[in-house]
Amino acid sequence: MILKEFDYLAPQTVAEAVSLLETYKDEAELIAGGTDLLVMMRKGALAPKYIVDIKPISSLDYVKWDEKEGLTIGALTKVSTIVNSDVIKEKCFSLYEAAESFGTTQIRNMATIGGNICRSAPDADLVPPLLVFDAELKLMGPRGERTVLLENFITGAGENILNNEILTQIKISVQKRPHGTAYKKLGRLSEDLAIVNCAVGIIVTDNKCEDVRIALGAVAPTAVRAKKVEQSLKGREINSKVIEDATKRVTEDIAPRTKFEYKVYTSKMLIKGLINEAVTRLGGSA
Amino acid sequence: MSTKKTYTVVGKRVPRIDAKEKARGEAKYVDDLTLPGMLYGATLRTPYAHARILSIDTSKAEELPGVKAVITGKDLPDRKFSFIQAFYPGREDKLPLEKEKARYIGDEIAAVAAVNLETAKRALELIDIKYEVLPTVIDPEEAMEASSPKIHDKERNVVEEVHDNFGDVDKSFKEADYIFEDRFRVSHQAHCCMETHGCIAQWGDDGRLTIWSSTQMASHYQWELSEVLGIPYGDIRVIRTTLGGSFGSKQAMHTIEPIAAYLAKKACRPVKLVYNREEEFLSTRTRHPAIFGLKTAVKKDGTITGREVKIILDNGAYNDMGPGLLHDMSRLFCSYYKVPNVRVNGYCVYTNKGYGSAFRGFSNPQTAFAIESQMDIIAKKLNIDPVELRLKNAVHTGDVAASGWVFPSCGLSECIEKAAAAIGWKEKRGKANKRGVGLATCTHWGGGLTFGQSDFCGTIVEINSGGLAYIRSGEVEMGQGSDTEITQIVAETLGFDIKDVKLMPLDTDLCPSFDYVGSPVTYVAGGAAKSAASDAKRQILELAAEMKALNTSDLDTMNGYIYDIKSGEKVMPVSEAAHFSYEIRGVPIIGKSSFHQGPTMFSGHVNPDGSGTYSPTYSFAAQAAEVEVDPTTGLVKVLEFITAQDVGKAINPMGIEGQADGGVAQGLGYALTEGLEYNSDGKLLNADYGHYRIFRAQDMPRKLTTILVETEDPGGPFGAKAVGETSMVPTAAAIANAIEDAVGVRIKELPITPFKVLEALIKNKKEK
Amino acid sequence: MNNHSGIIDLNVNGKIYTIKVKNNWSLLDVLRDELGLTGTKRGCDEGECGACTVLINGKPTLSCLILAVAAQGQEILTIEGLSENGELHPIQQSFVDLGAIQCGLCTPGMILSAKALLDSNPHPTEEEVRAAINGNLCRCTGYAKIVEAIMAVVGKTG
């Protein structure tokens, strides 16, 4: 399949890129890894007049850890960099797990974390763990920079609040970081779109759930936090009965459009399994 | 025990003769070729599953700079074609470009040739077609109803029926201890060749057409092209390029060749037409879906006494091979298990979907899923071990099935026993610990086919004056390794080192004629190669005998030398005799042969009740699987998989293992993840690898074993039979049976998705 | 660069090619159609099959999903650049010897994925080998002999 013609623009800085977006607006598409954009163009789903290639902006490719700031990841960091990052494995294990289950070697070498977030697909692999970590996004636009929570960023299937802006950084604050985390993608085969994906983060003290965050993907137009389930766990003693009861409330949190019963059932199962996994990783048992 | 002969080339793990150029990326597939002045073609496909074509306006497309030819159905003669017309004349129903109606989403309506693909694609967008959209029918059972839309404007959508009746079925059911009745449903499967279909067409000044094609069956394409273009057979030359997989999909000619030929004719330049992956999913032909109602009469001891079968074969929008496939299916229900009484009523039905064709195992993976799933259902009810039940009913060498099939060699029981032992049947079966083992078996025609005209294959083996052998054969390399196998057979027969045997690329102008289908290449082309090589060898030995005043019968060849059998001493190099023949005698050394099947079902080898054998021999296999089922998700993981295959004689064990591994991968996909999904408008929902999931390296079982059972068939070259197809025939049933053993649910519809498994598990729990 | 086409320098197999490309051409389009390097295969053009895999700066990359204009200044290795002086690379030889090749369309991409793995991890486990080639679809072999061929050269390359 031949791509339709377009103008190719390769800005050297974020500011240049933003000004191009402001100039061309809806006629322009950003390209980072290209693993989604070019496929959609080939399928005829998109036909931009301008392609703004931000991949060469090397200042957006980094993983940094700072005791005060927490973890900051440049938007153009490749998924393979996340897989190979010791600090991410140490501090945000479920993000590593999500990155590892992301596509194939080739796709991981090309796709970026920013691309995965900005595509805003309901089944995006990296979004559930980032939701669990309460990730903050830095957006650069014509009127300067703003910071938003990931939770408020994605607004629908393939939709987000970007307005001639570029996502530049993903930040996970140290204070908010839950202590035990786990991620799992349910797919038919080793490389598959998620039927359901789920991330869990939990803080347990003396077998009591101090805090818990659960995020699910592919069960609603956007990845969602399972807040009702979380509420039923918070402050409670962690045991299988409590977890079992809490997962029942998942139907209040999710709204799958297809395979409803399957997705509800497996969401419960994933949450259960991942809470156990996360607690085990903390050194406890559920 | 038979005294097995020792060979120097046959039976050895010989690396493929084409492996190096493929490893270097130098093998030329059709899309790698460019001819001077070549144009690029593209096809316009309809977006409607059923629509009348009211008008087509191509004027804007023709005006686009760079466009050299635009064609529609009006530019072509009114000649329909279908593969099946060779067997059932009058069943042809497909135009290369449809004029009146579009019958499935993807149907070809117009085509363009331009200086590059980009221009050709842009021109397609400028073609304006007005349609009257018609009601569609997607489900084959609905399509059989009188009120359903008529896809070919005929009285009914049923295009072929089979009504076979062997023995006394009613009596067998009256006298049965148990009667089992189950409904099974199998899905479409796409071949997913890594190389999409493609060809290049060029007309010569002499009016001859040359087609470079990724075809499994060059000489049949030649014939089909002649039918559809209305030009003499001899005016068409088909050159086979390296095939990037076929599995049956490049056996029947597609519309791509006639379209390219017409574009090339109109533009007066060569035209390349290659499908993209979406077109490959949309419009190349698939494994036929089917519904089976299977009723079986069984005695207390497990003896199967009768079967009554209803088949609804979902043909899709066009015939291709559907009607023939229906008849094949029918015979399989009384083939490898002794079923003395059988009645089959089958219907091949048009629907507004992509259409079916040949796919590895042709008709057999479908029927095997039904037969082999029900075997386990029977075993469970009768409390007989499924392995024992199969052994009890299995056919043996010399048996004749109710369908008239005869089995000159049969290793079915040995396959069953070996597969069961290898999987650890006794230790693992019935543990109900989320892990389970399952087994299933099959047969498949192992020689050429006899139900149409006889299969045939010509072969010429020429020994040049330097003592090298050149083979010109109608064998069908499609990736499976037959080039190497034929070369081995000739090298072994001639007593040559394999490097001194060269196989000529397949070109219908240079190679002898052939016409046969599928994996009987070993039996048919292998048989022809062996006898052509024997003919050449005889000539060489006669020359040497004459030169040295020896008896021909005292001489033989080995390692490129002619030697005296008694003394074991070298008489002369083959090259010396060859040189003598050309230089002194003025006679070339040309061994020739054409394998011919003998009597066919059409030429009288049919019994009064319609029974008769399909093939001079049959291959057999048993497969055993160990799976693990996750009861929280319904996901099935295949831990271990065994294939025990009766191959007659393994010409190249390494090649057969590789083929079997690949067959298993396709079979596992058929079992668990593949299956085209159409919505009610006939739109294909998974026309890409992102949604149509085939197995990857991490999905395959870590333990994958092939056991070769050698029964030394009396008719096959060196005792060999067809090997390529059986390895995916019983796979889906083996998996279904293993799942049942693991978690107690029986899934009767393919693919066995996690959704179906989990639903059944939850239902099971509720019932308990 | 605002035009529909331009002149770029591509570093392929250690050779610099100065060519005119259009913006909408993928690296795969250019390798095959402009440079005649047809060893890189077009399997799906949608990033799923891996037949178009090339190594960019040593990493397996899908040439169908990278624009040619964006591939400037990078080291690109295709299958044609793997064997030296007609000698097969040990991975290629192992594929030949152990029956890892059938139709051969996935082979170039598969071999390049294997090379990238062995270059960065000379002693992989079987699981690591399977993970490394998971992006390369094969419809013929069931992957068993491919995995075997790669494992057979572990420690023998580089």
Q: Taking chain A (286 residues) in consecutive chunks of 10 residues, what is each chunk's mean pLDDT?
A: 89 96 95 95 93 95 92 98 95 95 97 97 97 96 96 96 97 76 95 95 91 96 97 95 96 95 97 95 72
Complete edge-to-edge strand list for the sheet that includes strand A208-217: A180-186, A196-205, A208-217, A224-225
**Contact, B768 vs B744, CB < 8 A?**
no
Chain A residues in contact with C70 (beta carbon < 8 A): 10, 31, 34, 53, 55-56
A149: nearest Cα among A166, A126, A132: A132
CA distance A36 to chain C (A): 9
Instruction: Report DSSP state, residue B284.
Output: S
Annotate B525-568 with DSSP letters as a single string.
HHHHHHHHHHHHHHHHHHHHHHHHT--GGGEEEETTEEEETTT-
Q: Tell me if C61 and A39 make a contact (CB, 8 A cut-off).
A: no
Chains that touch B (3 or more CB pairs under 8 A): A, C
Q: Which long-range contacts (CB under 8 A, 24 or more apart) does C57-60 make?
A: C58/C116, C58/C119, C58/C120, C59/A80, C59/A109, C59/C116, C60/A105, C60/A106, C60/A109, C60/C112, C60/C113, C60/C116, C60/C132, C60/C135
Residue of C nearest to B190 (CA): C139
User: Are B29 and C41 inside 8 Å of each other by CB?
Assistant: yes
Any A CB within 8 A of B672 CB: yes
B1 pLDDT higher than 50:
no
Q: What is the DSSP letter of C60?
A: E
Say if residue B693's pLDDT is above 90: yes
Mean pLDDT for the stretch of residues B370-385:
98
| pLDDT for residue C2 | 45
Q: Determine if the pTM surpasses 0.90.
A: yes
Q: Does A69 touch chain B (CB under 8 A)?
A: no
Beta strands in B351-484 (DSSP E): 435-445, 456-463, 469-473
Q: Do A262 and B754 touch (CB under 8 A)?
A: yes
Quick one: closest CA in B to A191, which residue?
B696
Cα–Cα distances (Å) from B311 to B295, B308, B402, B729, in that order, read 12, 10, 18, 18
- Candidates B119, B755, B756, B763, partner chain A, best to mutate (most A CBs within 10 A): B755
| C57-70 pLDDT, tens digit each | 999 999 999 999 99
Which of C52, C63, C67, C76 should we substitute to test contact with A (largest number of A Cβ atoms within 10 Å)? C67
Residues of chain C numbered 4-63 and touching chain B (CB < 8 Å) = 24, 32, 37-46, 48-49, 51
Q: Using one digit for the tens of pLDDT, what is the confidence trace for B503-523?
A: 999 999 999 988 777 668 889
Optimal mutation site among A27, A106, A110, A190, interface C, most CBs of chain C within 10 A: A106
Q: What is the pLDDT of residue A69?
A: 86
Average pLDDT score, chain B? 94
Residue with tokens 């129903």: B93
Is the CB of residue C49 less than 8 Å from the CB of residue C117? no
- The answer to whether A139 and A149 have CB atoms below 8 angstroms apart is no
Rounded to the nearest angstrom, the minimum Cα separation between C134 and chain A is 6
pLDDT digits (tens, 9 = 90+) for B169-203: 999 999 999 999 999 999 999 999 999 999 999 99
Q: Measured between alpha carbons, how far is C123 from C112 in angstroms, rounded to an integer?
A: 17
Q: Which of C4, C5, C28, C62 to mutate to test the interface with A (most CBs of A within 10 A)?
A: C62
Strand partners, B316: B350
Q: How much is the average pLDDT of C97-109?
A: 98
The answer to whether A103 contacts chain C (CB < 8 Å) is yes
| Dist. CA B441–CA B651, nearest whole Å | 23
B233 pLDDT higher than 60:
yes
B31, B277, B480 ranked by CB distance to C46: nearest: B277
CB contact under 8 A, C53 and A103: no
Taking the Cβ of residue B759 and every Cβ of chain A, the question of whether any pair is shorter than 8 Å is answered with yes
**Rounded Cα–Cα distance for residues C107 and B341 (Å):** 49
Q: What band does C156 get if pLDDT is binned at 50, 70 and 90?
A: confident
Among all residues of chain C, which has the CA nearest to that of A190?
C134
ipTM: 0.97
User: B194 with B385: CB under 8 angstroms?
Assistant: no
Q: What is the rounded (10 degree) CA torsion for B535, B541, B544, B548?
A: -140
Q: C101 — contact with chain B (CB < 8 Å)?
A: yes
Partner-chain contact B693 A269, CB within 8 Å: no
Do the Cβ atoms of B25 and C108 come within 8 Å? Answer: yes
Q: Note whether C60 contacts A109, CB cutoff 8 Å.
A: yes
Task: Give pLDDT, residue B2.
Answer: 44
Residue C1 has its nearest CB partner, among A8, A104, A190, at: A8
Mean pLDDT across the stretch B484-505? 96
Residue B762 CA to residue B54 CA, distance in Å, equals 51
